[in-house]
């Protein structure tokens, strides 16, 4: 018969510390990813706005010919 060995207080403290470090790392990475996505969204919106403005200019020029 095998008995489960009880984790020592030191082992539990190490485990808690490791989990806390992992939680902090995940939070930092998540924040970095969110910032990157926000930056990409801003750039994409700016590009779309420029394209829209160019298309409207072309359309205005087309309408002025008639």
Measure the CA dihedral 26/30/31/33, to 10°: 140
Measure the CA dihedral 39/44/47/53, to 10°: -120
Mean pLDDT of the chain: 92
* Residue 13 in domain: no
pLDDT, tens only, 11-43: 888 999 999 999 999 999 999 999 999 999 999
Counting the structural domains of the chain, the total is 1
In angstroms and rounded to an integer, the radius of gyration of the C-alpha atoms of the chain is: 28
* Residue 6 in domain: no
- The residue range of the domain holding 44 is 18-66
* Residue 62 in domain: yes
Write down the pTM of the prediction: 0.63
* Residue 8 in domain: no
* Residue 7 in domain: no
* Residue 27 in domain: yes
* Residue 31 in domain: yes
């Amino acid at each position: 018969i095998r008995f489960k060995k009880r984790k020592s207080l030191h082992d539990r403290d190490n485990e808690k510390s490791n989990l806390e470090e992992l939680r902090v790392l995940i939070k930092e990475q998540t924040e970095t990813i969110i910032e990157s996505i926000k930056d990409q969204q801003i750039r994409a919106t700016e590009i779309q706005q420029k394209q829209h403005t160019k298309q409207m200019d072309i359309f205005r020029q087309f309408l002025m010919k008639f």
